[in-house]
Structure 1
Amino acid sequence: MQIDGHHTLTYVVARIAGMPHGDAEKLAYCAQYVDEAVNSAPVKFKNGAMYSRISSAHKMIDYRNSNAMANHLAWIPFHFLLGNDGLPAGENPDGSFIKKLVCKPNSYVAHDMLKVAAKHRNEKFGLHLMGIAMHVYADTFAHQGFAGVSHEINEVEDIESESSSLLERVKDGIATWSVSSVSPLGHGPALSFPDRPYVKWSYTNGLGEMVARDNTEIFTDAANHMYKVIKCYLSGDDEMQIDRQDHMPSDDLNRIRTVFETITDDDGEERHKKWLKLIAEGHFNFDPIELTFITSGKESWKYKARGRGTSIPMLNDVVEYKYNESFLDSDWKLFHDALKTFRLQVVRDVLPKYDICIA
């Protein structure tokens, strides 16, 4: 998904599920910030303090995308959660190991991932961690059928779509894009097709199988399941018994589906702006609110936590910040605490239950 899915959709679903604005705003910010956290350099303070962070994303054209270790550390746990071919822990799919790595919607692995997040609800970073989990969970729907590693299973051929203008641009992109060192990684060869809520398309995958996808149906299904997850969280169900929750009310779900169908801008940022406008106009079944997503400048979480940095003379690219005691409880720091906790527990505790070992 892109920013319209991870930020505004998450916010809307959370509000429909009964989460108050402040919590829903924080949940949605964290869900999108997973795509923004591309830096992993330690933060240095002038008093000698330091803070270590990790990155949860790379830009698609990034040297790290060709690095298997980097793929294991970012793409697999945060964007292409392993699906174990839809099987529960203790069962293995027939065929090669790669079939365990392919992303599957609402998988048993995803349920166990959500349980890990829910069990931290009483930590300072509990809601931040749940926001990260919502990003990963939503992507199990959007990224289904692809894996977060460089492998031929991600190759796509014979792409067709009802969106003819988009199809031509994507075909041109596949023909001219310099992907020799980074593809086939994730859905890179398919470019942004999987992340556009309005697209119907088909392709032949790396196994020679023809795959037909209706993204509107997939995203609507994702919204319904996200609703159930948040209802579990609000009710204190740390076991995330999603199937025991009611579906999202049909009026709310149909309203979301219509937005998916009618906002068809190529640029995710433009779709996001239109979602924000609908939220501000009271289009959904909660009070209108001016929602924002600010990643830089004085109103951003990052600036509020660290302030303005100053370069250290004679040391290129090294920046120091003035330490403030409020840093420890800042949303930016708590997000990164949650990010580190999420990756550790998913990689160390969840995936080994499925006989999966990644870095």
Structure 2
Amino acid sequence: MQIDGHHTLTYVISRYAGIEHRLAEKVAYAAQYVDEATNDNPIYFDNGAMYDRIVSAHKMLDYRNTQNLANHLVWIPFHFLPGNEGLPSGVEPDGQFIHRLICRPDSWVARDMLTMVASHWGQPYAAHLMGIAMHVYADTFAHQGFAGVIHDYNKVDNLGSSSSSLLQRIKNDLLSDSISASSPLGHGAALSFPDRPYVSWAYKNGEGNTIERDNTTIFLQAAEAMCKVLQWWNQGDFEVSIDNQRGLTTEQRSKIEHALRTIKNDDGEVRHAIWIEWLREGRFGFDPVDLTFDIDGENSWKQQARGRGFVQGGQLVYPYSKAFLDSDWKHFHDALKTYRLEIIRDVLPAYGICIA
């Protein structure tokens, strides 16, 4: 998914799950910020304190995308959660290891990831951690059929969509073929097709199987599943199964479907701006809200936490404040580190999957 899915759609679903505005805003911001946290340089403060962080995404032209370790630490845990071929823990599938790394919607692995996240419910970073989980969980639907490593399985052939013109299809084929040949990482060779909610498309995967996708149906399935998880998390009663939650009402599902089908633009930022406007107009059945997502600037989590940097002794430093310890930016990065550690150390090894 792109920013319209990870930010605004996640916010709407959170509100439909009964989460109040401020907390829903925090969950949605964290969900999108997973795609923005591309810098792992430590932060130095003017009093000698420092804070270390990790990345949860690389830009597509980042050299780190060619490094296996970087892919294991970023793309696998945060964007292409392994599906273990749809089998529960303790059941080791036959066949190649790559098949176990392929992302599958709402897998047993994903459910165990959610249980791990819920165990941190009482922590100050709980909402930020759930936002990260919502990013990963949504991507198990949108990124299904691809793996977060460079592998021939991710190659794409005969990429096409009825919504593309002949000229655009030719351009897509050329770009897709180039990526398939040089660096088939994740759904890179499928371009942005998996992330556009209104598109129906098809392709032939690296094993020669023809795959057909209706993204609106897939995104609606993700929305329903996310709503149940957020209802479960919001109640804090983890003895009750996720599957026993009511999920979306008919009216809520209809409003989401209308937005997914109606807001058509290849640019995720443009679609996001329309979702923001619809929220201001109160089109989703709750009071109008002015939702924003600022990566930089005074309203960003980053600047609110760190302030403006300045050079001290030849090094960029930030003014230290005790408020930093309880800032959303620090809580997000605390959650990011917690998530990656427990996914790699605990969740995936229970399935016999060893990464990084």
- Tell me the distance in 2 between the aligned counterparts of 1:178 and 1:133: 29
* 1:326 lines up with 2:323 in the alignment: yes
The CA deviation string for residues 106-157 of structure 1, in whole angstroms up to 9 with x for no partner, is 0000000001111111001011101100000000000000000000110000
* 1:24 lines up with 2:38 in the alignment: no
> For the structure 1 residues 167 and 197, does the alpha-carbon distance in structure 2 shift closer, same or farther, using more than 3 Å as the test?
farther
- Tell me the distance in 2 between the aligned counterparts of 1:150 and 1:284: 40
- Across the aligned residues of Structure 1 and Structure 2, the Cα RMSD in angstroms comes to 1.4
> Counterpart in 1 of 2:122?
122
Structure 1 residue identity aligned to 2:144? Q
**What is the number of equivalent residue pairs in this alignment?**
354
Instruction: Report the alpha carbon displacement of residue 225 of structure 1 after superposing the two structures with TM.
Output: 0.4
CA contact (8 A) 1:307 1:322 kept: yes
- Tell me the distance in 1 between the aligned counterparts of 2:205 and 2:180: 17
Instruction: Report the alpha carbon displacement of residue 239 of structure 1 after superposing the two structures with TM.
Output: 5.8
Match of 1:171 among 156, 170, 173: 173
> Counterpart in 1 of 2:105?
105
* 1:345 lines up with 2:347 in the alignment: no
**SS of residue paired to 2:74:** helix
Structure 2 residue identity aligned to 1:31? A
Instruction: Report the alpha carbon displacement of residue 168 of structure 1 after superposing the two structures with TM.
Output: 4.1
Q: For residues 49-68 of structure 1, what are the structure 2 equivalents within 5 Å?
A: 49-68=49-68
- Tell me the distance in 2 between the aligned counterparts of 1:184 and 1:358: 19
> For the structure 1 residues 239 and 269, does the alpha-carbon distance in structure 2 shift closer, same or farther, using more than 3 Å as the test?
farther
User: Normalised by the size of structure 1, how large is the TM-score?
Assistant: 0.96
**SS of residue paired to 1:202:** strand
- Tell me the distance in 2 between the aligned counterparts of 1:134 and 1:320: 33
> Counterpart in 1 of 2:133?
133
> Counterpart in 2 of 1:267?
267
CA contact (8 A) 2:155 2:180 kept: no
> For the structure 1 residues 20 and 72, does the alpha-carbon distance in structure 2 shift closer, same or farther, using more than 3 Å as the test?
same
**SS of residue paired to 1:160:** strand
CA contact (8 A) 1:79 1:139 kept: yes
- Tell me the distance in 2 between the aligned counterparts of 1:240 and 1:66: 43
CA contact (8 A) 1:305 1:331 kept: yes
CA contact (8 A) 2:179 2:188 kept: no
CA contact (8 A) 2:154 2:180 kept: no
> Counterpart in 2 of 1:248?
248
Structure 2 residue identity aligned to 1:9? L
- Tell me the distance in 2 between the aligned counterparts of 1:357 and 1:174: 30
Structure 1 residue identity aligned to 2:345? R
Instruction: Report the alpha carbon displacement of residue 94 of structure 1 after superposing the two structures with TM.
Output: 2.3
* 1:206 lines up with 2:206 in the alignment: yes
> Counterpart in 1 of 2:9?
9
CA contact (8 A) 1:233 1:240 kept: no
**SS of residue paired to 2:121:** coil
Instruction: Report the alpha carbon displacement of residue 238 of structure 1 after superposing the two structures with TM.
Output: 3.2
User: Normalised by the size of structure 2, how large is the TM-score?
Assistant: 0.96
Higher mean displacement: 332-341 or 244-253: 244-253
Give unmatched runs, 5+ long, in structure 1. none
Instruction: Report the alpha carbon displacement of residue 311 of structure 1 after superposing the two structures with TM.
Output: 3.3
Give unmatched runs, 5+ long, in structure 2. none
Q: For residues 143-182 of structure 1, what are the structure 2 equivalents within 5 Å?
A: 143-165=143-165, 167-174=169-176
The CA deviation string for residues 156-213 of structure 1, in whole angstroms up to 9 with x for no partner, is 00112111235344224335x67765x1100011111101101100101011111000
Percent of aligned pairs with the same residue? Answer: 58
**SS of residue paired to 2:160:** strand
CA contact (8 A) 2:129 2:336 kept: yes
**SS of residue paired to 1:22:** helix
> Counterpart in 2 of 1:294?
294
> Counterpart in 2 of 1:335?
332
* 1:35 lines up with 2:29 in the alignment: no
Structure 1 residue identity aligned to 2:324? F
**SS of residue paired to 1:158:** strand
Q: For residues 227-242 of structure 1, what are the structure 2 equivalents within 5 Å?
A: 227-238=227-238, 241-242=241-242
Higher mean displacement: 122-131 or 159-168: 159-168
Structure 2 residue identity aligned to 1:102? I
The CA deviation string for residues 61-91 of structure 1, in whole angstroms up to 9 with x for no partner, is 1100000000011100000001001100011
The CA deviation string for residues 262-315 of structure 1, in whole angstroms up to 9 with x for no partner, is 11111000000000111110101211111100110111110011111123565x
Instruction: Report the alpha carbon displacement of residue 5 of structure 1 after superposing the two structures with TM.
Output: 0.2
> For the structure 1 residues 179 and 84, does the alpha-carbon distance in structure 2 shift closer, same or farther, using more than 3 Å as the test?
closer
CA contact (8 A) 1:198 1:216 kept: yes
